[in-house]
Structure 1
Amino acid sequence: MTDWSAVIDATWPAAERREVGSWVIRTGKGGGNRASAATATGPVTAADVTQGAQAMQDLGQEVVFMCRDGEDALDLLLADAGYIIRDATLIRACPVADLTRDPVPPVTAFTVWPPLAAQRDIWAKGQIGPERLAVMDRAGGPKTTIFGRIDDRPAGTLFVAVHGETAMLHALEVVPEHRRKGLAQHLTRAAARWAQRQGATRFSLLVTATNAGANALYAGLGLSQVGSYHYRVLPKEQP
């Protein structure tokens, strides 16, 4: 069985991670929830929640806990403490070979590392800034970006990395005026072809449950739901 937490940690790593009591505490440095959320190492109590929250506050970070499949007791404990759900997320996966059967159109997707300025511009327009690009730099295993072109113009980009035999796609972004032209599908297939060359046998990605368009795309490509998680955070104070 795939350890999805390990895959996420390896392919979208925190700047630092350490154990504090019953938690793994991550230093995210602006890398988003995936790189900064605390995860439990076992059963936790209300006192443990307080300790974990304090550890994140000491880092100057928002207090964010991740609740994974099977952590119903933790989820209930956090709910009782006033933490609300943020970003229910699905883990989708399929055999790499399922994505490599169909060809990618010529001059559509290019394997590039490090990313080009044009890719950085595309990510910036999608609110993926230097802090998240730094996460990509930190990933230690095989990794690359896929740069996409449509109508002879820079149009999309993504990041993909491999942990063990599992590849995980992150930060797929397509320029708004070039969406609905099939580029996201082509980039995903190109990423799978690269992953296959690295020896990966499984291809995966993370998508929020509310993103109907992306979920339809990935389901159509054969990526089925294999897990899920969500975050819990304190409500923001109203002005």
Structure 2
Amino acid sequence: MTLFDVLDATWPAAASHMAGGFRIREGRGGGSRVSSASLEVPFAEADIDSAAAAHRALGQPPKFIVRPGEEALDAALAVRGYEPFDPVTIYTAPLAALADNVPPVTAFAHWPPLAITREVWDSCGIGPSRQAVAERAPAPKVAILGRRQDRAAGAAFIAIHGGTAMLHGLVVLPAFQRMGLAAAIMAEATRWAKAEGAETLALVVTRANGPANALYTGMGMQPTSHYHYRREASE
């Protein structure tokens, strides 16, 4: 099992289909991760056209995830004019090494998500289509609501697959940022995952998100892998 297997299991596409040597994820508006094509067999350049056609048949633009060791795919997509975007780092840490002391009345785990949790996600760009991805994930899973100044101020989603707890959708409302709420949500995620018997915490974050990268490295999480996407260049 790889971290990419954990990603697929804890943030699942609505459906997937094989086209040539690529797995085509049907995202239904859930974002890049659940609407990308991934290489599942040894690379053959002709399969790119099959994958692109399958994407279009689903009504979504062709988009490919490029993982470590897939340099030939990356080069072939570049030659065809596919532009790179959203380079991502995958962080992991043993749960035993992470703090789980949650300040009182700052973060709590629950499922299904409360209406106020959904409102926080909505306000931060995680709308119904992305929330539907969390609904599809199998248990064990949980939403986390973060509070500051007696208000709902942050949210996250976490699910477990194969002993690894993967965090998704961590957001803090702009008015409550830099108040330690993200760290409190992470502590609650750690507490819940330990209680569920997970051994590792993992998450993904874009390299451009400096504050998030600083938070995770400050917690003791380590960059373990990476990937990026390629899509057809905009006209």
After TM superposition, is the score higher than 0.5? yes
Aligned-partner residue type, residue 76 of structure 2: L
The total of aligned residue pairs comes to 235
* In 2: Cα distance, 1:220 partner to 1:147 partner: 22
Aligned-partner residue type, residue 152 of structure 2: P
* Residue 44 (structure 2) pairs with residue 45 (structure 1): yes
* In 2: Cα distance, 1:33 partner to 1:141 partner: 23
* In 1: Cα distance, 2:32 partner to 2:202 partner: 18
**Number of the residue aligned with 1:14:** 13
SS of alignment partner, residue 185 of structure 2: helix
* In 1: Cα distance, 2:117 partner to 2:180 partner: 18
C-alpha contact 2:19 2:47 (8 A) present in aligned 1: no
1:129-148 correspondence to structure 2 within 5 Å: 129-148=127-146
* In 2: Cα distance, 1:156 partner to 1:99 partner: 20
SS of alignment partner, residue 46 of structure 2: helix
C-alpha contact 1:110 1:148 (8 A) present in aligned 2: yes
Deviation of residue 79 (structure 1)?
Answer: 0.7
* In 1: Cα distance, 2:4 partner to 2:56 partner: 23
* Residue 109 (structure 2) pairs with residue 114 (structure 1): no
Uncovered stretches (5+) of structure 1, i.e. residues with no partner: none
Poorly superposed stretches of 4+, deviation over 4 Å: none
Could you list the per-position Cα deviations for residues 157-183 of structure 1 after superposition, in whole angstroms to 9, with x for gaps in the alignment? 000000010000000010110000000
Uncovered stretches (5+) of structure 2, i.e. residues with no partner: none
Deviation of residue 152 (structure 1)?
Answer: 1.0
Deviation of residue 43 (structure 1)?
Answer: 2.4
**Number of the residue aligned with 2:62:** 63
* Superposition TM-score, scaled by structure 1 size: 0.96
* In 2: Cα distance, 1:18 partner to 1:52 partner: 10
* In 1: Cα distance, 2:8 partner to 2:127 partner: 19
Deviation of residue 78 (structure 1)?
Answer: 0.7
SS of alignment partner, residue 211 of structure 2: helix
- Quote the RMSD (CA, aligned, Å): 1.0
C-alpha contact 2:29 2:130 (8 A) present in aligned 1: yes
Percent of residue pairs bearing the same amino acid type: 48
* Residue 195 (structure 2) pairs with residue 197 (structure 1): yes
Could you list the per-position Cα deviations for residues 106-136 of structure 1 after superposition, in whole angstroms to 9, with x for gaps in the alignment? 1111111111111111111111100011101
* Superposition TM-score, scaled by structure 2 size: 0.98
Could you list the per-position Cα deviations for residues 150-207 of structure 1 after superposition, in whole angstroms to 9, with x for gaps in the alignment? 1111111000000010000000010110000000011011101111111110001000
* In 2: Cα distance, 1:84 partner to 1:236 partner: 9
Deviation of residue 18 (structure 1)?
Answer: 2.1
**Number of the residue aligned with 1:77:** 76
* In 1: Cα distance, 2:191 partner to 2:95 partner: 8
